[in-house]
């Protein structure tokens, strides 16, 4: 089995979090079918994630969080993804919102965490889905956002929107708005083929007032100082949010692919071919498939973790990455997930008709792999094009970087 490795072997907090994540794997595997049926995390799974502290891995210590390095998202999602990709997806998603809230103004942090530091926050960062306009003291917001993962479990939501202005000279502004549950409606739209247990339903806001301090401009999340920096000085909260956005979720693809490889290797050790009664482990093609899939997964893990570790090192030096580096982070995030998807697809094809049975895990791993890969952050054409533009001296087309 692939191993998630803590940043430092002498970091007891990091090692403890990894151990707690690993301890959950047996029960998460047992609940995987039920998670798909519910189309949301089972209550007992949500409770386990709370009690383990995993939701709060990136939350500031002053609130009682672990305040671990950003690579914790990769390592913990990698582990949980080896049991159930839907659980890993929601864990990483919702944990990342504690990290982002630490960059909001202190009044927003106090309002959300003051009531309950364990509170969960959903999101949808699809900017064109919303429209906001400036009014006295804040903004009026409306829109309909898809793919708000885990929203049924959350009391708050971070919704991205374009801010409209009557003056064209103002240009386009992207902002994130933090709303309580009472200000949006959840639409039960999540009936899908993969990541079925994530409950990634649509949310709708008809006309909500959002105070200034409950919003943050995307330009304030580009790296370096943020509105919450004085309260939370750890370099973790000085990272460029949307440059590193793929790594919030990329570990899910990694764990799912690792589980697929481990299962394929285990079956191949004992299975007899129905064609000629030979052992599959004796086939050169089986051996090559295992070698190729493991190489793709190991390469993906190295790429993902290196990006997160390098970004933290820059933040500790108070260095804000240039646009070439930011677009490279996006390029590598998409590329590494594509490697994981390729590995799962190859193993699924090599498994023959065995993979078709709905009672087995392989068909779920295949569906989940392609559902993960469908996220815009993992579209290599988009990420690769933008990296190529910047490498050739052209401006970036991604307005969030």
- Give the domain extent around 39: 12-103
Report if residue 238 sits inside a domain. Answer: no
* Distance separating alpha carbons of residues 86 and 252, to the nearest angstrom: 8
Report if residue 257 sits inside a domain. Answer: yes
> Are residues 89 and 140 located together in one domain of the fold?
no
> Are residues 17 and 44 located together in one domain of the fold?
yes
Q: What is the pLDDT of residue 169?
A: 58
Mean pLDDT of the chain: 93
Asked if 232 and 59 touch (Cβ cutoff 8 Å), the reply is no
Domain C-terminal end among 187, 221, 255: 221
> Are residues 63 and 130 located together in one domain of the fold?
no
Vertex 240: Cα angle to 84 and 151 (nearest 5): 40
Report the CATH number at residue 201: 2.40.110.10
Tell me the pLDDT tens digit for each residue of 25-81: 999 999 999 999 999 999 999 999 999 999 999 999 999 999 999 999 999 999 999
Report if residue 235 sits inside a domain. Answer: no
> Are residues 278 and 378 located together in one domain of the fold?
yes
pLDDT category of residue 1 using cuts at 50, 70 and 90: very low
> Are residues 273 and 313 located together in one domain of the fold?
yes
> Are residues 156 and 209 located together in one domain of the fold?
yes
Report the pLDDT averaged over residues 8-15: 77
> Are residues 294 and 383 located together in one domain of the fold?
yes
> Are residues 371 and 306 located together in one domain of the fold?
yes
> Are residues 256 and 139 located together in one domain of the fold?
no
> Are residues 262 and 320 located together in one domain of the fold?
yes
Q: Is 310 exposed, middle or buried (0-12, 13-18, 19+ CB in 10 A)?
A: middle
Q: How many domains does the chain have?
A: 3
Report if residue 213 sits inside a domain. Answer: yes
Domain C-terminal end among 221, 255, 285: 221
Report the CATH number at residue 311: 1.20.140.10
Domain C-terminal end among 51, 69, 103: 103
Report if residue 87 sits inside a domain. Answer: yes
> Are residues 79 and 198 located together in one domain of the fold?
no
Report if residue 396 sits inside a domain. Answer: no
> Are residues 18 and 89 located together in one domain of the fold?
yes
Closest CA to 252 of 397, 150, 120, 115: 150
Report if residue 353 sits inside a domain. Answer: yes
Report the pLDDT averaged over residues 289-304: 97
12-23 and 25-38 helices, crossing angle to 10° = 60
Lowest mean pLDDT among 138-142, 333-337, 345-349, 356-360: 356-360
Report the CATH number at residue 17: 1.10.540.10
The long-range contacts involving 12-16, CB below 8 angstroms and separated by at least 24 positions, are 13/66, 13/68, 14/68, 14/69, 14/72
Tell me the pLDDT tens digit for each residue of 99-109: 999 999 999 99
């Amino acid at each position: 089995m692939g191993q998630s490795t803590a940043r430092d072997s002498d970091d007891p907090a990091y090692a403890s979090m990894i151990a707690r994540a690993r301890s959950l794997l047996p029960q998460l595997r047992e609940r995987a079918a039920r998670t798909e049926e519910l189309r949301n995390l089972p209550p007992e799974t949500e409770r386990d994630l709370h009690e383990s502290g995993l939701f709060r891995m990136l939350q500031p210590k002053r609130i009682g969080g672990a305040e671990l390095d950003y690579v914790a998202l990769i390592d913990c999602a990698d582990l949980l993804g080896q049991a159930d990709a839907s659980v890993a997806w929601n864990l990483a998603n919702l944990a990342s919102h504690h990290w982002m809230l630490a960059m909001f103004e202190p009044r927003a942090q106090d309002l959300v965490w003051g009531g309950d530091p364990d509170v969960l926050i959903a999101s949808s960062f699809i900017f064109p889905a919303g429209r906001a306009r400036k009014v006295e003291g804040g903004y009026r917001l409306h829109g309909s956002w898809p793919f708000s993962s885990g929203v049924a479990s959350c009391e708050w939501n971070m919704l991205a929107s374009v801010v409209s202005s009557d003056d064209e000279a103002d240009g386009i502004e992207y902002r994130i708005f933090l709303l309580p549950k009472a200000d949006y409606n959840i639409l039960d739209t999540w009936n899908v083929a993969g990541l079925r247990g994530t409950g990634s339903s649509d949310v709708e806001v008809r006309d909500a007032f959002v105070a200034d301090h409950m919003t943050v401009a995307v330009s304030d999340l580009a790296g370096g100082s943020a509105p919450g920096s004085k309260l939370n000085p750890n370099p973790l909260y000085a990272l460029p949010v949307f440059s590193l956005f793929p790594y919030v979720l990329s570990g899910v693809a990694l764990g799912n692919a690792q589980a697929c490889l481990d299962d394929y290797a285990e079956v191949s050790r004992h299975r007899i071919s129905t064609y000629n009664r030979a052992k599959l482990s004796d086939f050169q093609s089986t051996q090559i498939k295992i070698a190729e899939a493991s190489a793709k997964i190991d390469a993906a893990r190295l790429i993902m973790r290196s990006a997160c570790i390098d970004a933290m090192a820059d933040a500790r030096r108070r260095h804000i990455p240039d646009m070439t580096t930011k677009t490279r982070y996006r390029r590598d995030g998409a590329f590494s997930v594509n490697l994981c998807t390729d590995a799962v697809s190859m193993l699924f094809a090599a498994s023959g008709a065995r993979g078709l049975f709905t009672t087995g895990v392989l068909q779920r791993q295949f569906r989940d792999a392609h559902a993960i890969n469908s996220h815009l952050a993992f579209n290599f054409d988009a990420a690769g094009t933008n990296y190529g533009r910047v490498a050739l001296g052209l401006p970036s087309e991604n307005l969030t970087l």
